[in-house]
Amino acid sequence: MGRLTRIDRRAGAAVREAVSALPGGTRAAGVAAGALSPAFRVLVAVLIARARSRRTGLEALAAGVGAATAARLLRDRLGRRRPGPRDDGGFPSRHAAAAAAIAAATGRRDRTLGRALAVAAAVGLTGRVASADHDPADIVAGVAVGLVTARALERLSDQRVR
């Protein structure tokens, strides 16, 4: 294991230790981690269902699916193990990629909602570190994939509109 991986593993362990020291912290982290993906899916569906926010919802859907797919391809190629008992790779995090992409794509048209989604993503993704689904670098790399994907899709969308 390389030096950066050891530092990352220690940082993840420190987050888990700090959360477990809080009354109800482990349970709250698990709830936040588990709610992240379904909450974002429902939000995107609501955006798509409403005529006035349909374009925002479709852009968020495209960004989220694109980012999760890119993260999955990278994760399968890199094969870095997760900190917990699961054997599959965790770097970069697909949840982080999708959440960041959805927040960025939504924030392009509605800054307030985009900021709220960024905060919700941060809470849920911290929960994923606290529940040993990921270490911090998994999340950071996933967020980077999500932001790059959302930006690339934004540029493509802007070119099509011209």
DSSP string, 22-87: STTHHHHHHHHHHHHHHHHHHHHHHHHHSGGGHHHHHHHHHHHHHHHHHHHHHHHHH-PBPSSS--
Closest CA to 145 of 89, 83, 68: 68
Q: Helix (H, G, I), strand (E, B), or coil: what is residue 112?
A: helix
Per-residue pLDDT for the chain (162 aa), expressed as one digit of tens each?
A: 688 889 999 999 999 999 999 999 999 999 999 999 999 999 999 999 999 999 999 999 999 999 999 999 999 998 788 887 787 888 999 999 999 999 999 999 999 999 999 999 999 999 999 998 899 999 999 999 999 999 999 888 777 655
Note the pLDDT of residue 5. Answer: 86
> Given this model, what pLDDT does residue 160 score?
64
pTM higher than 0.85? yes
What ranges do the domains of the chain cover?
3-161
Tokens of 82: 């997760």
pLDDT computed for residue 161 by the predictor: 56
Q: What is the pLDDT of residue 1?
A: 62
Question: What's residue 155's pLDDT?
Answer: 87
